[in-house]
Structure 1
Amino acid sequence: MRPQLISTITCPNCGLEKEEEMPTTACQFFYECDNCKKVLKPKEGDCCVFCSYGTVACPPIQNNEDCC
């Protein structure tokens, strides 16, 4: 099964929701909100911002693999 590559990130600071394409070759550790400019980092125990703030987990997690 192919992983979904589009996830909607929700900024916990201002609530902005934005659809983003997830990278398939690396984890994304930082994400800057377009609205409030807050730099998001993964929550403790998560490997990337998509696993913490996205509607879909990153591709390696979807495939039951270790993340970066």
Structure 2
Amino acid sequence: MSRGTRGYDDLQAMFLMRLVRLMKLRTRLSTQESTRDAGQTLVSAALRSTLQDCEALGVQAEAHALLEAD
């Protein structure tokens, strides 16, 4: 696999970027009353799954740092 930015391979970088995107989506949905419950449930499940993927790929420290910075 080719090397991504900051020494991450492509798959690691993709899941870290997915985590950032889901965090932004969670923030945006929290301000929309009509989609808050269903949307938040789906985004929470996707966040959990993405965190597990990050852990499996060895970038759990980076993933948790992103969550803490949010």
Q: Indicate whether the TM-score tops 0.5.
A: no
Larger radius of gyration: 2
TM-score, normalised to structure 1's length?
0.28
TM-score, normalised to structure 2's length?
0.27
